[in-house]
Amino acid sequence: MTALATSPLPDAQTRSQGIALRRGLALLGMTLVVPGSAQLAGGNERLGRIAIRIWLTLIALAVLFGVLFLTFRAFAIGLYANPITLQALRWATLVLGFGWAALFVNAWRIANPAALGPRGRVVIPGIAFVMALVIGFGSWSLAAAFDAQSRLFGNVFTGGGKSETSDGRYNVLLLGGDAGADRDGLRPDTMIVASIDADTGRTVLFSLPRNMQWAPFPDSSPLKKLYPNGYWCKDQSCLLNAVYTLGTNNKKLYPGVKNPGVQATKEVIGNILGLQINYWALVDLKGFQALIDAVGGINLDVARKVPIGGGTDLTTGKKFPIKGYIGPGKNLHLNGYNALWFARSREGSTDYERMARQKCVLNAMAKQLNPLTVVTKFQEIAKAGEEIVATDLPTSQIGTMLDLAQKGRSLALSSVSFAPPLIRPVKPDFAKIREIVTTKIEAAEAADKKPAKETTTAPAPNGSTSSTPKPKPTATTVKTQTDDLDSVCTVS
């Protein structure tokens, strides 16, 4: 009889503990789905209402930004890329994330640990601790990403360029240089102007040789008084890539200018081409290599082997050893180190062939880099981006440039190298250069205006291609002009 009287008691206790366990799990689930709902249901109602209001506000802001992104994408990206916005997101993520984690701990307290059975006393605090840890660590990681983006955009995209288009185009000066120990300051050996249609994104690349002489300064340049007839010296050391050093050494002529070397280079190249330069970007070799690695490398067909190393030490006159070769081969995957040497190697080739390879690398990046890569590898890209010396592109224009880059990916990339036999760097015909620039831009704009039927049947003069499938090229050709860079760059 005693056993019959006492046996229901353990069952009732077990049921009570089971109910408490299920209630605790429900409270943790509510906190995960709607932070604050657990407190509103069985704890501090005031705290719960505050948390839910914050949660609903965040959802509303996310929806608002999503609508803004879909309707005014360039503006939305520019707003997001503002360092102030990113720092606000960083601190908000930290505060709200750790606040959310604290709500899990509070939900465990609301579950009444004393009412839980042995299993519940392990399961409920264990889940609460794990969820709080995941939310806290996730918030810290996301805040770190916002901070990295803020530093990237704040340090690299300094602003100061001209956002207004010139004849419906953005003209961007791309400079690549090296400030090695054996060099007199930084000298940009890569000088390319990308002229981008502001509506379609169709781009024409104009590449200038580093050894061009007689570069004319515009009347608005303070260096015009020093070199009224063009940049020339008797010892022939006044080359185009030395204009950067010239501007740096005469920084007093550029009061208030952050980078007088780039400003001088921008002035003279704009005058050579007859274009108004909107923005410039100066990348050193280390930054270029890191950027290629950050995006996972590029693929190229290399028709003939390109040396890694070589060249001559200008101080001692000794030859540098060749450490290896790139190619030849089809669909070669190049990491940052190999892509850098493919673009800069001079051993056994001319400056003009090197100019062609540089544009091939740019073409490969333009074709192969996609938004998913940018999103998934942003931390690496941000770290590499800080190796970029500078650009005067403001953060407000990043969205516009990304939109144009996305539009231009599917279009043929025209290219002109002002190199022999087209132009003699020793005595360039600048009127001819400007005429070629005008003609190329007009041809690019005309390509966007042609009806689809015309583009499929019209012949392709001067190496241009129609909208029919392009044949896969077989070699990297040194060609001064092309209407489709794919036709001379074997980009896989």
Model confidence over 269-295: pLDDT tens digits?
999 999 999 999 887 776 778 888 888
Type of residue at 216 = P
**Which amino acid, residue 95?**
V
How far is residue 104's CA from residue 31's CA, in Å, rounded to a whole number?
6
- Please name the helix (run of DSSP H) or strand (run of DSSP E) that holds residue 155, with its range, or none: helix 118-156
The domains of the chain, with CATH numbers, are 11-156 (no CATH), 169-209+275-448+471-487 (3.40.630.190)
pLDDT surpassing 70 at residue 216: yes
The two three-digit tokens of residue 203, written as one number = 């781009």
pLDDT tens by residue, 81-93: 899 999 999 999 9
- Residue 213, classed as helix, strand or coil, is coil
444-457 burial: b if 16+ Cβ within 10 Å, else e: bbebeeeeeeeeee
Tell me the mean pLDDT in the region 355-377. Answer: 71
- For 429, the token pair is 């015909």
What pTM was estimated for this model as a whole?
Answer: 0.73
pLDDT for residue 476: 45
Q: What percentage of residues in the chain have a pLDDT greater than 90?
A: 37
Coil/strand/helix, residue 66: helix
Band (364; pLDDT cuts 50, 70, 90): confident
Residues 6+ apart with CB under 8 A from 363: 413, 485, 486, 489, 491
Residues 6+ apart with CB under 8 A from 278: 161, 162, 163, 164, 165, 166, 170, 171, 172
Closest Cα to residue 448, out of 203, 200, 205? 200
How is residue 112 written in tokens?
């009444």
Return the structure tokens found at 150. Answer: 């803020």
Q: CB-hemisphere CA count at 13 Å for 139?
A: 19
- Range with the poorest average pLDDT among 83-87, 111-115, 329-333, 452-456: 452-456
Q: What is the DSSP code (8-state) at residue 472?
A: P
- Nearest-angstrom CA–CA distance, 428 and 333: 37
Amino acid at 188: P
Residue 363 pLDDT exceeds 50 = yes
pLDDT digits (tens, 9 = 90+) for 373-401: 665 666 666 666 666 667 889 988 988 99
Mean pLDDT of the region 114-131: 78
Average pLDDT, the chain: 82
- Residue count of the chain, please give it: 492
State how far the Cα of 400 lies from the Cα of 54, in Å rounded to an integer. 32
Q: What is the DSSP letter of 296?
A: T
